[in-house]
Amino acid sequence: MTPPEKEKKSMQKARIEQILNKMKEVSIAVMGDFSLDAYWDIDLKANEFSVETGKKVKLVKKQRLSLAAASNVTLNLIDLGVRKVYNIGVVG
């Protein structure tokens, strides 16, 4: 890396650090769809059949929930140290 490229990269890093340090001073509003994703771990070894259909059923061993869409954006802003995050969404 040549000296000007190194200096440019260094200035970019300094600017990023400056922005991140200011996060604790700002308030941000997040507007959008707030949702929750559900992930199901299926027991593939299960050998049960539905009484109604006679088809093999998929038994859920574990359910994991994860913030999604605007909910995930809010969580990321909090993790970045934003002082206050306001959520704006519509129900209905």
Give percent above pLDDT 90 in the chain: 77
pLDDT in tens, 46-75: 889 999 999 999 999 999 999 999 999 999
Cα gap 23→84, rounded to integer Å:
9
Q: Across residues 34-44, what is the average pLDDT?
A: 96
Q: Across the strands, what pairs with 31?
A: 88
As a three-state string, the secondary structure of 52-78 is CCCCECCEEEEEEEEEEEHHHHHHHHH
More confident residue, 3 or 88: 88
So where are the chain's domains? 19-88
Residue 24 DSSP label: G
Residue 1 has a pLDDT of 61
